[in-house]
Structure 1
Amino acid sequence: MLQFSDDVSFGRHTQTFTVADPISTLTIEGSTVKRGFLYLLVIDPNGALRANILLEKRRKRLAMSEAQASVGAIKGELPTGTWRLEFVNVEGEFRQLKPMQYSLDITFDRPIDNAFVGVESLKGDQHIHFDMQRSLSSESRWYRGDLHAHTNLSDGQNPLEDVLPIAKSQKLDVLFITEHNMCHGQLPEDPDCLILPAMEVTTDLGHCNIHGPARTLNMLGSDITSQTLLDQAIAIKEQRGNLSINHPMMLPWHWHYDRLPLRAITSLEICCDPTWSTSPQATEKALALLTLLWNAGHRVTAVGGSDSHLTPEQRNPKATEPSIYGDPSTYVWANTLNGEAILSGIQAGHVYFERTCKLHVAINQGNVLPGDDVGDGTVTWQISVDNQDHEFYGQWIADGDLIAEHDLTNEAQNIQVSMEDYAWVRVDIRRRNREKHDGQGDIDGVINAVYNGNRPCFHQPTASYWSDLNLANTISLF
């Protein structure tokens, strides 16, 4: 057995070990002394990535052979020569330094009893080889999904084996697994629920999801500053995928990378883990931010994300409801259930999200979808909710102003608005019996806007970078 221990402050630390003779398996077990973010990347003598994992106080085990791999590892030949262990600590650049002490044990030729069998995704070249065109359904409809979820590869509690049972219990059609700064080597496979590759780029300046990336984040370079990692995220998105700003107004994880080009944003996470104590207030501020972006001419898509780190039995502090995959659920209209179609639906804004209201929506009798450009025309929303245990109402928001408000029941409401005087109109769904925010109920859902593409802002946006939004003088974080 080989043993390693040391501590890593902000930055990268390298250890090496030698495989002198052929081996059949490689097992690496490790943990940290305290809670924090310490990444381990394993590189073989050929320069291939063979494992990535977030080390924690709980002991974790990676295992690999030519034909098998655990969660976090990548199967393949185990060449002789010098292997590298790259430890990366990305915390402390703009906050207090947080040195992370670790211990690691390495054994050869130990039988693998924790192999995971799924669809191959991340490979040793650090690229994603998942087939984004593989379809589970050819039906055109609303697909229910969650765009933000974690497992115990990073700091979540659910093992990867439990993802599908939980997702299916929540009636999800699609789930993006968004581990911090890394991707899974394999993903669960199911004929009815599509698990898609993704990652959450996590820095001191904010977090963003990349949905459907072509490659994972490269943390092997000498520069792991927030700016470098976030610029890398933008470059990965430009190659393939969607970039979603996570919990943008939720302290201390709010977004404050001022150099972000607004054109790079695909979606904005409005509601994140609604069982977290500060989520309702952060949701209201995210809606105000969404208004700023749309008024500046950037048609980003409003989405939700559970950001679930817990098992269904666990609870956040002071919470009575579980933080679980699918709460909130993000519904995407797509003409087939595959990765490319889901990404395209999000890009087009053909999206609404909800928590509990069980929303039904049709616009212009189904001929218009959220995100569509309807010009100066008249738009009719037909909306109903199936949940009769609570009272819900809809607010029609045009260019940031409330123009109509109606109670919602299981009887469809038909609401008509002329777009002649507006650049965009969205619908916020609220629960009337939770009036907290200046007399308004908590957000239960949002239907993305329809747009009037004739408006000048969509031809010549008035803001180009995050800093141009001037949030310090428009939306208070505190």
Structure 2
Amino acid sequence: MALLAPFSAPGRFWRGNLHTHSNLSDGALEPKQVVDAYKNAGYDFMQLSEHFIEHFDFPIADTRPFRSNSFTTLLGVELHAPETQVGELWHIVAAGLPLDFPRNLPGETGAQLARRAREAGAFIGIAHPAWSQLTIEDGRAIDAAHAVEIYNHGCAIENDRGDGWYLADQLFTEGKRLTAFATDDAHFKGPDYFGGWVHVKAESLDPDALLESLKKGLYYSSMGPQLHAIEMNGKEISISCSPVDTITVVCGTSRSAVRIGKAITEASFDLAKLEKGWLLRKTSPWFRVTVIDGAGKRAWSNPIWWDEIG
């Protein structure tokens, strides 16, 4: 049985949020209050991703004074530039930017700004696709992206547009080797916090180690449930997790493999014997795992590519 990434990677999982705002842009609380809220809620790290636009004087929150041996912060922003297919500003999460990252250049597009941020060392995520009404052409345009924000808690509770899988899955099927992250996008003006996060596998809580793992896709996302392992043994997939009611494997078509029960913690699918499951491999170059608990909360793996596991 071969344990798959990120579960096979050395280190431990660290819980973090990559998309949150303070009153440096349009959030309600001061930066330290926001950081303390996540620290007190049991997170290991977080990032203040202020709106990097002229209206707020292009802020990059310096949260380094709030770091400790047991809690850390990443430095980053939410980038904005013209323009999506519906004529709005791009929203792009950039984690791991230097504090002196230059302001937008004259005439710079969202795609160009994302490339410049990636060249500066950032992890680039396409933010809240449903809220922004992003098209597949929009997704293709951000060619510097590492990931798609597949769950945005603030958008979900405010206007039921928190999903990003519709865009991510299409991009995966086109061959884009992206990953998928969940966030809060909290502004602390309502209950928009502690609803979606990432579990990043790294050997330490050092910001550079976390950033490197994010770029390598060594993480999974959650609203509550935990994924413990995904393993492959020949044509058999095995998943273990915290107690949930559904464990499902989906791919780039309607084909899937699923186990449903009450408080189940594992499932195995022999794809050689399961016609629908075996078609996962025959019809799609990738698959991913979702688990759903009794309250409807989910955890999601990143896409797993057949040619990377044999």
Are 1:205 and 1:255, in contact at CA under 8 Å, matched by a contact in 2?
no
CA distance in 2, matches of 1:300, 1:261: 13
Structure 1 match to 2:14: 143
The partner residue of 1:430 within 279, 292, 296 is 292
Structure 1 match to 2:149: 269
Are 1:244 and 1:268, in contact at CA under 8 Å, matched by a contact in 2?
yes
Counterpart check, 1:184 vs 2:51: no
Are 2:17 and 2:184, in contact at CA under 8 Å, matched by a contact in 1?
yes
CA distance in 1, matches of 2:305, 2:104: 43
Identity of aligned residues (%): 19
Structure 2 match to 1:359: 226
CA distance in 1, matches of 2:187, 2:101: 21
CA distance in 1, matches of 2:51, 2:143: 23
Amino acid paired to 1:342: L
| Structure 2 length-normalised TM | 0.78
The partner residue of 1:205 within 83, 86, 89 is 89
Cα offsets for 1:455-476 (capped at 9, x unmatched): 9xxxxxxxxxxxxxxxxxxxxx
Cα offsets for 1:121-153 (capped at 9, x unmatched): xxxxxxxxxxxxxxxxxx811111101111111
Counterpart check, 1:194 vs 2:72: yes
Query: Quick check: which one's helix share is greater?
Result: 2
Residues 201 and 143 from structure 1, CA distance in 2 versus in 1: closer, same or farther, beyond 3 angstroms?
same
| Structure 1 length-normalised TM | 0.52
CA distance in 2, matches of 1:230, 1:448: 23
Counterpart check, 1:347 vs 2:225: no
Are 1:178 and 1:209, in contact at CA under 8 Å, matched by a contact in 2?
yes
Residues 226 and 406 from structure 1, CA distance in 2 versus in 1: closer, same or farther, beyond 3 angstroms?
farther
Residues 233 and 263 from structure 1, CA distance in 2 versus in 1: closer, same or farther, beyond 3 angstroms?
closer
CA distance in 1, matches of 2:222, 2:120: 30
Residues 173 and 259 from structure 1, CA distance in 2 versus in 1: closer, same or farther, beyond 3 angstroms?
closer
Residues 257 and 180 from structure 1, CA distance in 2 versus in 1: closer, same or farther, beyond 3 angstroms?
farther
Residues 184 and 363 from structure 1, CA distance in 2 versus in 1: closer, same or farther, beyond 3 angstroms?
same
CA distance in 1, matches of 2:306, 2:153: 32
In structure 2, list runs of 5 or more residues that go unmatched: 1-9, 53-58, 82-87, 272-279
CA distance in 1, matches of 2:112, 2:48: 21
Are 1:249 and 1:255, in contact at CA under 8 Å, matched by a contact in 2?
no
CA distance in 1, matches of 2:14, 2:262: 23
CA distance in 2, matches of 1:359, 1:256: 30
CA distance in 1, matches of 2:17, 2:214: 12
Query: Quick check: which one's strand share is greater?
Result: 1
CA distance in 1, matches of 2:186, 2:291: 22
Are 1:384 and 1:409, in contact at CA under 8 Å, matched by a contact in 2?
no
Cα drift, residue 430 of structure 1: 3.3
Are 2:248 and 2:289, in contact at CA under 8 Å, matched by a contact in 1?
yes
CA distance in 2, matches of 1:263, 1:206: 13
The partner residue of 1:403 within 232, 250, 256 is 256
Matched position secondary structure for 2:176: coil
Corresponding pairs, count: 277
CA distance in 1, matches of 2:100, 2:199: 26
CA distance in 1, matches of 2:139, 2:293: 37
Matched position secondary structure for 2:61: coil
RMSD: 2.9
CA distance in 1, matches of 2:139, 2:49: 23
Are 2:24 and 2:50, in contact at CA under 8 Å, matched by a contact in 1?
yes
In structure 1, list runs of 5 or more residues that go unmatched: 1-138, 316-321, 369-373, 434-441, 456-478
CA distance in 1, matches of 2:192, 2:79: 21
